[in-house]
Amino acid sequence: MAVQVGDKAPAFALNNTANEKVALSDYEGKNLIVLFFPLAFTSVCTEELCTMRDNMAEYQKLNADVVAISVDSPFTLGKFKAEQNLDFPLLSDFNKEASEAYGAIYDDFFGMKGVSKRSAFVVDKEGVVRYAEVLDNAGNLPNFEAIKETLGQLN
């Protein structure tokens, strides 16, 4: 079952592209956009994360940080981050624990088991989920306007 608005955001501590731990608790006191995406280097995932990159100034004005999580290895995510000039942390959920905790995981994704579903969550300064969107169709993008609207209401 996916995390719902009003739930306490499940804690996570995942490796970033420098193989350093990044935890939800690192963002206490800030609004955080938590994105889950299926696989690095795929067209829709690239579009999604580049859209976030290109609009980062708007999210910063809304006092929000961004992390993006997939089941790819930190090494794959590092190459993807460098190629796309992404300016926010990409976190490896290789063991699928965060994806499962957020209810953002496919049982079967084109024959692959345990791939993150494209999802977006806004977690407020107190660690409460204020926006939750889990997409069954990986070809769809999150509702970026609804994310911005939610963040605007938090400030």
Instruction: Point out the residues that are catalytic.
Output: 45
- H helix or E strand, kind and range, residue 138: none
- Beta strand pairing status for 129-134 and 13-15? unpaired
CB count in 10 Å sphere of residue 120: 26
Closest to 129 (Cα-Cα) out of 13, 32, 30, 8: 8
- H helix or E strand, kind and range, residue 51: helix 43-54
Distance CA 17, CA 119 (A): 20
